[in-house]
A and B are shown apart, each in its own frame.
Chain A
Amino acid sequence: MSKNLISDSSEWSFPLLERFDREIGRLARDVYGLDTYANQIEVISSEQMIDAYSSVGLPINYPHWSFGKQFVATEQTYRRGQMGLAYEIVINSDPCIAYLMEENTLPMQALVIAHACYGHNSFFKGNYLFRTWTSADAIIDYLVFARRYIAECEERYGEAEVEMLLDSCHALMNHGVDRYKRPTPLTLAEEQRRQKDRAAYLQSMVNDLWRTLPTFDVDGGGEQDVRWPEEPQENLLYFIEKNAPLLEPWQREIVRIVRKLGQYFYPQRQTQVMNEGWATFWHYTLMNHLYDDGFVTDGFMIEFLQSHTGVVFQPTFDVPYYNGINPYALGFAMMRDIRRICEQPTDEDRHWFPDIAGGDWLKALDFAMRNFKDESFVAQYLSPTVMRDLRLFAISDDDREEHLEVTAIHEEQGYRALRQSLAEQYNLGSREPNIQVFNVDRRGDRSMTLRHYRHNRRPLGDSVEEMLRHIRRLWGFTVRLETLDENGRTQLIGEC
């Protein structure tokens, strides 16, 4: 028995959790140099976990039926045993809140602490997307504000009215981000103070924009038919919030709330592979370190490895339950490979990664974690070794061809194409349709024209009509959607 041994029982208790946290935290900080927010670790029951699930993982949120639907679905599958609950939920906030389920055994709790409280936590704090797009110290306060504001609106304008508005905003949630502008930070007090001014100011601006009094043209020249907005706008929610003619100030505020939430989730959608890979890599490394130092028993490790291998398992494309590439598996493999390239580089690695081969692995990993998102991370770091290990291959599916074509496989000639193709697969820009506000007929019927920039001839799905109804509800006047194809021709595909 090692003198370091923490416990050989599988039952957890608060003193034991604290002990584990101390040791894991010490390793993470002193040995591996992970920089984290303070942790707030909350132990909850499985019912509470279902609750947490259904409000998209946020500790507080405004009420909406879609969260209820999520709740009902989760509860149902969980009760029927079709699905286990995630072992943890972690919230990108400062302090970083992590939930542990009380049903977990001690090894599971230790794994979760390592995974969430040091893995995800350091990712939230370090990655440039999270640093740019989210304000960890303010999100909880903002949610409090949002919840209260929406409750107030429901009281004043009726639940149904607010619900309709939220439905429409949710539909456009993925189109509420300015990709190239740093959003302003949020704080509760600030938000409340500014909200009032904003309401008044916004309304006056909108009124100005839509003023119908004739203006006297000094030079007598008629209004030119200038397109407006001058540049197409990709942030539909922002455009609507600022410019929709008929929205009341409170409605604009709600649009803004949904937009801000969408923005908060924006980095998460783009760093799934990295984030999970990073956290998985660290729980793996930290647990093994604990084991090497004699803090845990063999039995503990076996239980840990069992769930770890379950998490990083990648089914091959030809099994019935194959469901795409497992982000945990890919991320973990890549992170581990970066360490290998630094520690035991081969000639191939030296050729592909001259910058990091043989270097300090901690530095290399830290750099990778801070400065990339899934798309660029894959493009930069997917090594031939990983492609070979996962036996990746790229398929091109062209609806004009009768057959699918294998365009690249894990071989010398295919590595670059394969890497390029996988990176593209994680590019949010090509995963989601590119739809922008193209024109608003300010002088005429106030109709708004959206333009879908088609890529690779991929058409829009069958939700177009319903989506147009939602947008019309927000805009208040006719909404048209046209597609611009590869040859520069536009075609009207919907009007509402």
Chain B
Amino acid sequence: MSHFIDRRLNGKNKSTVNRQRFLKRYKSQLKRSVADAVNRRSITDIDSGERVGIPSKDISEPVFHHGKGGIRDMVHPGNKDFVTGDRIRRPEGGGGEGSGQGKAGKGGKGDDDFVFELSREEFMDLLFDDLELPNLVRNQLMGTTEFKTIRAGYSTDGSPSNIDVVRSLKGAIARRTAIGAPLRARARELEEELQTLLDGGTDETDARVREIREEIDRLRTRIAALPFIDTFDLRYQSFTKLPEPTSKAVMVCIMDVSGSMDQVRKNLAKRFFILLYLFLQRNYDKIDVVFIRHHTIAQEVDEQEFFYSRETGGTVVSSALNLAYDILKERYDSSVWNIYAAQASDGDNWDSDSTVCRDLLVEKLMPLMRYFAYVEITPRQHQSLWYAYQEVRAMHRHFAMQEIDGPEDIFPVFRELFRRQAA
């Protein structure tokens, strides 16, 4: 009468499409949450999900309902000392809404934000959306490990194109030998017996001789009937995917923290560094990040200080480049480490320092680098640093520079980088 079905192995993501639609519908609100999260998070921690919130009123589904007021009669349980005709002061916040429906687990009051968790993919997707990354690049960034296909012996199933003929035929021979062996042994025995009988002068028409001959014939037919090749014999070349061995990279983040770099610009710079970090993460197993901030003096700091401390004063870019060079020489051997550097600045520099920077880069730093990216976050005219760097770019192909106004300008810097990697 009852019928049991085990559905546990069925897909569990029946609601994925609904979830996607929900996210799509509230994309703009979610983007805001993601932007906040990016500013709050550490660069190296960017690659995970996030809790986001949407104001509840934005996602309500309206229906006609009664408002406050009028006469309402309600029945409640648990009377202690009321008697008919008692008058009670109205409790704060109006009468209970209870109609017995009970919203399980909404935890009472105050759900003014609808908060939930975004998965890593969803989070990154929204982030990339903000940066206007093309899909190809998205995939490259989102993709996890690269795999290499290698041989892994033989298996009993596979696609026909992978059949190993020699192996399969060897198997067939073995099978024929093994199954045919008792038959052949028996046939040999009978032949010997027949020979003895014939040698002993027994007549061909003798019953026993005829019997033996028939038996031998039968055995031979059976041996002949053994299939030449059987699906059982088939062997396929097996391949397995091995994660590509990756190596180490170091990312040097250099940022100008002089007074003219405000928080908005720093956040822009942060996006830029995040993107570079993600790119490196996709390509390398282990990544070190070095943060160097500078005004007139450069200093190696931790991330928190890098993005959020305020400094004032003039700007001497070469101090940071010198420090970077020292750190690389000391800790990161360029034969072991892939070195990437990203510099963000508003373009201010001491006039006489710009040529120093150019020479430093060309002679000392660029030979060590896999890639050096410079972004200038400024609405103004370019200054000497820009022109000095243009000379560097002319000399080194792995040097990129870009002017940034908003987050959507960040990507072009990477375009070249990705093209190079793809090649």
- Of the residues B1, B76, B88, contact of A25 by C-beta under 8 Å: B1
* Chain A 169-181 interface mask (CB, 8 Å, partner B; 1/0): 0110111000000
> Are the C-beta atoms of A406 and B84 separated by less than 8 Å?
yes
> Are the C-beta atoms of A68 and B64 separated by less than 8 Å?
no
> Are the C-beta atoms of B19 and A68 separated by less than 8 Å?
yes
> Are the C-beta atoms of B98 and A322 separated by less than 8 Å?
yes
A14 to B77 alpha-carbon distance, docked (Å): 42
A216, CB-defined interface residue at 8 Å: no
A204, CB-defined interface residue at 8 Å: no
A466, CB-defined interface residue at 8 Å: yes
Count chain A CB atoms within 10 A of each CB in B70, B99, B107, B114 and give the residue with the most: B70
A394 to B71 alpha-carbon distance, docked (Å): 13
> Are the C-beta atoms of A171 and B2 separated by less than 8 Å?
no
Q: Which of A311-353 contact B (CB under 8 A)?
A: 314-318, 320-327, 330
Q: Which of A371-404 contact B (CB under 8 A)?
A: 390-399, 402-404
Count chain A CB atoms within 10 A of each CB in B67, B80, B95 and give the residue with the most: B67
Q: Contacts A323-B103, A406-B85 given; indicate if A117 touches B2 (C-beta within 8 A).
A: yes
Complex interface: stretch among A76-84, A218-226, A286-294? A76-84
* Chain A 97-114 interface mask (CB, 8 Å, partner B; 1/0): 001001000000000000
Q: Contacts A65-B24, A406-B86 given; indicate if A397 touches B1 (C-beta within 8 A).
A: no
Complex interface: stretch among B9-17, B128-136, B401-409? B9-17
Q: What residues of B have a CB within 8 angstroms of the CB of A102 in the complex?
A: 8
Chain A: residues with Cβ within 8 Å of the partner, total of 111
A148, CB-defined interface residue at 8 Å: no
> Which label, helix, strand, loop or mixed, suits the secondary structure of the B interface?
loop
A129, CB-defined interface residue at 8 Å: no
> Are the C-beta atoms of A408 and B84 separated by less than 8 Å?
yes
B66, CB-defined interface residue at 8 Å: yes
A191 to B101 alpha-carbon distance, docked (Å): 34
> Are the C-beta atoms of B100 and A83 separated by less than 8 Å?
no
> Are the C-beta atoms of A458 and B83 separated by less than 8 Å?
no
Q: What residues of B have a CB within 8 angstroms of the CB of A39 in the complex?
A: 1-3
A39 to B71 alpha-carbon distance, docked (Å): 45
A180 to B65 alpha-carbon distance, docked (Å): 22
Chain A residue, CB-CB nearest to B101: A324
B379, CB-defined interface residue at 8 Å: no
State the Cβ distance, A97 to closest chain B Cβ, in Å.
9
Q: Which of B55-81 contact A (CB under 8 A)?
A: 59-80
Q: What residues of A have a CB within 8 angstroms of the CB of B61 in the complex?
A: 66, 167, 170-171
A82 to B111 alpha-carbon distance, docked (Å): 14
Chain A residue, CB-CB nearest to B21: A65
A152, CB-defined interface residue at 8 Å: no
* Chain A 154-176 interface mask (CB, 8 Å, partner B; 1/0): 00000100010001001101110
B104, CB-defined interface residue at 8 Å: yes
> Are the C-beta atoms of A324 and B66 separated by less than 8 Å?
no
A314 to B4 alpha-carbon distance, docked (Å): 34
Q: What residues of A have a CB within 8 angstroms of the CB of B114 in the complex?
A: 69, 73
> Are the C-beta atoms of A324 and B15 separated by less than 8 Å?
no
> Are the C-beta atoms of B3 and A40 separated by less than 8 Å?
yes
> Are the C-beta atoms of A72 and B83 separated by less than 8 Å?
no
> Are the C-beta atoms of A460 and B67 separated by less than 8 Å?
yes
Q: What residues of A have a CB within 8 angstroms of the CB of B85 in the complex?
A: 405-406
A170 to B10 alpha-carbon distance, docked (Å): 29
A326 to B99 alpha-carbon distance, docked (Å): 9
> Are the C-beta atoms of B73 and A396 separated by less than 8 Å?
yes
A456 to B63 alpha-carbon distance, docked (Å): 20
B90, CB-defined interface residue at 8 Å: yes
State the Cβ distance, B253 to closest chain A Cβ, in Å.
35
A69 to B115 alpha-carbon distance, docked (Å): 11
> Are the C-beta atoms of A395 and B95 separated by less than 8 Å?
yes
A73 to B116 alpha-carbon distance, docked (Å): 7
> Which label, helix, strand, loop or mixed, suits the secondary structure of the A interface?
mixed
- Of the residues A82, A272, A393, contact of B107 by C-beta under 8 Å: A82
> Are the C-beta atoms of B22 and A72 separated by less than 8 Å?
yes
Q: What residues of B have a CB within 8 angstroms of the CB of A73 in the complex?
A: 114, 116
A418 to B19 alpha-carbon distance, docked (Å): 45
A361 to B336 alpha-carbon distance, docked (Å): 86
B108, CB-defined interface residue at 8 Å: yes
A209, CB-defined interface residue at 8 Å: no
> Are the C-beta atoms of B87 and A404 separated by less than 8 Å?
yes
State the Cβ distance, A387 to closest chain B Cβ, in Å.
9
Q: Which of A438-468 contact B (CB under 8 A)?
A: 454-464, 466-467
Complex interface: stretch among A252-260, A295-303, A428-436? A428-436
Q: Which of A218-236 contact B (CB under 8 A)?
A: none
A424 to B73 alpha-carbon distance, docked (Å): 9
> Are the C-beta atoms of A466 and B75 separated by less than 8 Å?
no
A54, CB-defined interface residue at 8 Å: yes
Q: What residues of B have a CB within 8 angstroms of the CB of A167 in the complex?
A: 61
State the Cβ distance, B107 to closest chain A Cβ, in Å.
6
- Of the residues A394, A403, A411, contact of B89 by C-beta under 8 Å: A403
A64, CB-defined interface residue at 8 Å: yes
Q: What residues of A have a CB within 8 angstroms of the CB of B106 in the complex?
A: 77
Q: What residues of A have a CB within 8 angstroms of the CB of B84 in the complex?
A: 406-409, 411, 413-414
Chain A residue, CB-CB nearest to B97: A324
Q: Contacts A317-B78, A405-B86, A433-B64 given; indicate if A65 touches B4 (C-beta within 8 A).
A: no
B200, CB-defined interface residue at 8 Å: no
A394 to B64 alpha-carbon distance, docked (Å): 26
Of all A-B residue pairs in the complex, the 3 with the closest CB atoms, nearest first, are: A324-B98, A316-B78, A83-B105
Q: List 6 A-B contacts (CB under 8 A).
A: A55-B18, A66-B22, A316-B80, A324-B102, A458-B69, A463-B60
Interface residues of A (CB under 8 A from B): 14, 17-18, 21, 25, 38-45, 47-48, 50-52, 54-55, 63-73, 75-77, 79, 82-83, 95, 99, 102, 117, 159, 163, 167, 170-171, 173-175, 272-273, 314-318, 320-327, 330, 390-399, 402-411, 413-414, 418, 421-422, 424-426, 431-433, 435, 454-464, 466-467, 470
19 other contacts beyond A391-B79, A425-B100, A432-B65, with CB at 8 A cut-off?
A18-B2, A48-B7, A51-B12, A52-B14, A64-B18, A72-B22, A117-B2, A171-B63, A316-B78, A316-B80, A322-B76, A324-B100, A406-B86, A409-B79, A458-B71, A459-B66, A459-B67, A461-B64, A464-B64
